[in-house]
Structure 1
C-alpha cells in the first residue's frame, strides 16, 4: 500500500526556455525559473548595482539545445553559491535558478538574481537526469575563472568622469552630445508639481500608455495585454554655486534616489492626486548628490536626463545645511514703535 503513494514534490518549477526569455526582458512582474548545465563559474568580484558597490558572481549554463546563458548572482546570493562544493562534484552539474529577472546585454538575454532567487544543484527530478545524460561527454568539468577587476577606484572614476559645472552644462548644445555623459555635483531644489511624480508605463518599452476600454494602448506596441507599470517621472530643478538647470529623473534611477519602488509608493500614498508628493519624494529635496546626466539630442533646450545617481559622502554636512526649511514670516512692524526703538 505504501509503495503506491507518490512522493509529494517540495518545489514546483516553471522552466522558461531560452527563447521565451526574450519576451521577459526587464519585466519585474514576470520572474523566471531556468535550468541548465553549469559550464563556467567566475570568482567573486565587486561591481556596482544601483550605484552601490556589492559582490557579484557570474555563472554560465547550457540548455538542452547547447545554448549558453549567463546568470549574475548579487549580494548575499553569492555567499550561498559555494564554488568549493561545485569543485567536488563529478560529471555534469545541473543547477536550477528560480525567480530570476531577465535583462539584456549585447543583444542577448542575461539573468540577474532577485531577493526571491533560490538555486538547487543536481536536484532529484527527471529533467536533471535528462540534462546529465545529454552532456555526459561534452561537459565533464566546470571552468573556474578569475574575477574581472572592478574596485572602489573605478566607481570613484565614474563619479568624476567628464565633470562639469552647471553653468558649463547650460552652454552645451544637445545635438553635439550624442552618446556622451557628464557628471555634476548639485542639489535638487524643486520638483515640478504640474506633471506629477509618476505615470503608467508600457511594460515592454516604458513609454506612457492610455486606457482603451478594458485594455491599454501603447504608441509603439499598440494594444497590450499586460498590466502597465507605475513608473517614476520627476521633473526637477538642480542647483549649485554656478547655476540652475532642469533635469528629468525616471524609473530605476528615481527609485534608487527615493529608496522605494514606485508601485509601493503609489499603493501606500493616501492622496491619489499625482501632483501631491509623498514624503519620501519631498525628502530628496535639499540633498547634494552626484548626478550622471545625458542630453536628449532632439531637444531644443538643455533638458538633462539623469542616468545615474551617486551618493557623495563628502557632502553629508553640506546636505544638512541645505535641507529646505519652511519660510519664516517676518513680524509686521508696530506702527506705534519709532524707527529708533525698532
Structure 2
C-alpha cells in the first residue's frame, strides 16, 4: 500500500472497539490479517481528505484528564521545542521531548513526545519552515501536572506538521509573517530545566 491512492479492502474482520485507548470514537474496529486484500482502485472518485482528525478544543481537555477511553487529537502553533532528554519511568529511562504549543486564542499547552516520536521529531528542519509551524498530535493522553493540563503521546500517536486541513488556514491567517514573534521556534534548555517529568 501507498499513502494517497484509494483501495478497495476485503476479507477483514469486524470487532467491537476496545474499552480504552480508542483511537477513533466508533463502536467497531477493523482487523486486517494475512488474508486481507487491498485492491488499488484506478477509477476516479470524489476527493477524500488525506487527513481526518478529531481535534479537541483546549477548553475540553480537562474533561479527559486521566480518562483514556478515547485518545485525544490536538492542534497548536509550535512556540518552543525542548531537546530530547532521558526521563526515568518505572526504573528505566525513556526518551522525551517537551513542546510548548498554543491555539488561536493564545492559550498555551505543554505536550510531551515519548520514545521514537521524541527522537524522530526533526526540530532543526522545523526551524527552517516559514512561520507559522503548526503541529497536530493524535491519540494523546491528557493528564495534570503542577495543576496544569498537559498531554502526552501514546503508542498510537502520530505527529503532523502543517497538515492540509481547514484548521491550518485559521492559524496561517492569524499568525502571519507580520507577526513572526508568535511563530518563532526556539530550541532552548531553560524552559523545563527545573521540571520533574511526568510518566505517560
Question: Residue 140 in 1 paired to residue 183 in 2?
Answer: yes
2:67 matched to 1:53? no
Of 121, 126, 132 in structure 2, the residue corresponding to residue 81 of structure 1 is 121
Distance 2:111 2:46 in 1: 33
| 1:105 pairs with 2:148 | no
Map 1:171-190 → 2, pairs under 5 A: none
Listed as ranges, the gaps of 5+ residues in structure 1 are: 155-251, 253-342
Give the total of aligned pairs: 149
Query: Where in structure 1 do 4 or more consecutive aligned residues deviate above 6 Å?
Result: none
Secondary structure of the corresponding residue to residue 100 of structure 1? strand
What TM-score comes out, normalization by structure 2 length?
Answer: 0.69
3-state SS in 2 of match to 1:19: helix
Over 3 Å counting, the alpha-carbon distance change for 1:5 and 1:85 in structure 2 is same
Contact (CA 8 Å) 1:25, 1:104: kept in 2 or not?
A: yes
Question: Aligned equivalents of 1:139 and 1:5: distance in 2?
Answer: 40
Q: Per residue, is there more helix in 1 or in 2?
A: 1
Q: CA deviation at 1:60?
A: 0.8
Q: Which TM-score applies when normalising by structure 1?
A: 0.41
* Corresponding position: 1:32 with 2:75: no
Contact conserved, 1:45 with 1:149, CA < 8 A, in 2? no
Report the Cα offset of residue 140 of structure 1: 3.3
The structure number with the bigger radius of gyration is 1
In 2, are the aligned partners of 1:90 and 1:141 still within 8 Å (CA)?
Answer: no
Contact kept, 8 Å, 2:51 with 2:163, in 1: the verdict is no
- Offset of residue 14 of structure 1: 0.5
Q: Distance in 2 between matches of 1:9 and 1:79?
A: 28
TM-superposed CA distance for 1:5, in Å, is 5.8
Match of 1:323 in 2: none
CA deviations over 1:134-191 (Å, ceiling 9, x no partner): 12215231121127679xxx9xxxxxxxxxxxxxxxxxxxxxxxxxxxxxxxxxxxxx
Q: Please give the alpha-carbon distance, in whole angstroms, between the structure 1 residues aligned to 2:52 and 2:61.
A: 19
> C-alpha displacement at 1:71, in angstroms?
0.6
Q: Does 1 or 2 have the higher relative contact order (CA < 8 Å, sep 6+)?
A: 2
Q: How far off its partner does 1:28 sit?
A: 1.9
Other-structure match for 1:71: 111
Structure 2 residues without counterparts, runs of 5 or longer: 1-43
Q: 1:9-66, CA deviations, whole angstroms, 9 ceiling, x for partnerless residues?
A: 1232101111110000111222100001000000111111233211100011110111
SS at structure 2 position matched to 1:28: coil
When the two chains are superposed, the root-mean-square deviation of aligned CA atoms in Å is 2.2
